[in-house]
Amino acid sequence: MLFLFDLCFDDYGGISPWCYWSEATSKPIACAMRKGINMHPSLQRTLVQTAKTHKTEEKEVIETVAQHLVIHTIALSTLVYYITSNDQEIERKQKQLDELKQKAQELDQKLLEYQNRIRLLYE
């Protein structure tokens, strides 16, 4: 079973980034919002320790971290979109540049032909 970190909906219809997905079924196994069920042990220990350190409940720590992860996920998605858009713009401009180079070569060829015709006229 492979655990993947991805977005899914929690029991209340909200988005929870703390969802583990099954590689075999491609479906969520359990969300950390559900009292840490199927949470990786090291992550569970970290959350419990953080909750003890800040004298708060584990669920609050999970919710806070989940909110931060949603924000970071949105930021990363925006960055990926920006980079992809820039790549597409660069490709479009490169295509335009290639077309202009092709036209320039065609014009150079025509210029040479006209120069040769003019030279032949004066000979």
DSSP for 47-115 reads: HHHHHHHTTS-HHHHHHHHHHHHHHHHHHHHHHHHHHHHHHHHHHHHHHHHHHHHHHHHHHHHHHHHHH
Distance between CA atoms of residues 16 and 18, nearest Å? 5
Nearest C-alpha neighbor of 36 from the set 15, 61, 1, 13: 61
Q: Give all strands of the β-sheet with 4-9 in edge-to-edge order.
A: 4-9, 15-21, 28-31
pLDDT in tens, the chain (123 residues): 233 344 444 444 444 544 544 445 555 444 444 444 445 566 667 767 777 776 767 667 677 777 777 777 777 777 787 788 888 888 999 999 999 999 999 999 999 999 999 988 887
Every domain of the chain and the residues it spans: 4-122
